[in-house]
């Protein structure tokens, strides 16, 4: 299993940052423009049982990614888990907390790459770098939108 974490402080109240994540267009806003990802559907908001489906183009090959929300504690966290997709496993916790009048936004991901330990050793650094790029973008957009 591999682990990734990205944190930032947003100069906005906790409720504002949570409500931003509840927007119906949140996935379109937070998907970096350079990623070959299409949002297919989002149902159920952030609550348990909510569904998110993406189509990811890995070169010419379309890969369906389906995630289901398995945990929700408004306005502190929600968790989504891959049900179908490119990873062997994927659990993503979105955490929100108050810190010195601001909101700490933390994304914590535990994942496994198909192919086992050797593949993770070879590709894990590359996946983590792509995640770093993506979450830097996501947190920047969140800050811009919530700090207005």
Q: Mean pLDDT over residues 127-140, rounded?
A: 97
Instruction: Tell me the whole-structure pTM to 2 decimals.
Output: 0.94
36 vs 5, more confident = 5
| Residue ranges covered by each domain of the chain | 2-146
Q: Please report the pLDDT score of residue 59 as a whole number.
A: 84
Task: Quote the percentage of the chain above a pLDDT of 70.
Answer: 100
Nearest C-alpha neighbor of 69 from the set 79, 55, 77: 79
Nearest C-alpha neighbor of 77 from the set 43, 103, 42, 40: 103
Continuous H helices in the chain: 14-22, 26-30, 117-146
Q: Mean pLDDT over residues 94-104, rounded?
A: 97
| Residue 125 token pair | 């650094």
pLDDT in tens, 38-51: 999 999 999 999 99
- The CATH-assigned architecture of domain 2-146 is 2-Layer Sandwich (3.30)
> Distance (Å, rounded) from C-alpha 30 to C-alpha 80?
16
pLDDT in tens, 12-21: 999 999 999 9
- Contact status, residue 37 vs residue 56, Cβ threshold 8 Å: yes
């Amino acid at each position: 299993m591999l682990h990734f974490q990205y944190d930032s402080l947003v100069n906005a109240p906790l409720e504002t940052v949570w409500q931003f994540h509840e927007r119906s267009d949140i996935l379109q806003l937070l998907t970096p423009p350079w990623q070959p990802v299409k949002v297919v559907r989002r149902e159920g908001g952030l609550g348990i049982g909510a569904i998110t489906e993406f189509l990811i183009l890995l070169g010419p090959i379309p890969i369906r990614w389906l995630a289901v929300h398995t945990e929700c504690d408004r306005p502190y966290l929600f968790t989504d888990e891959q049900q179908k997709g490119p990873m062997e496993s994927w659990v993503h916790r979105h955490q929100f907390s108050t810190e010195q009048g601001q909101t700490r936004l933390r994304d914590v991901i535990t994942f496994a790459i198909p192919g086992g330990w050797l593949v993770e050793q070879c590709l894990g650094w590359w996946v983590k770098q792509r995640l770093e790029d993506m979450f830097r973008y996501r947190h920047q957009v969140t800050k811009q939108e919530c700090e207005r």
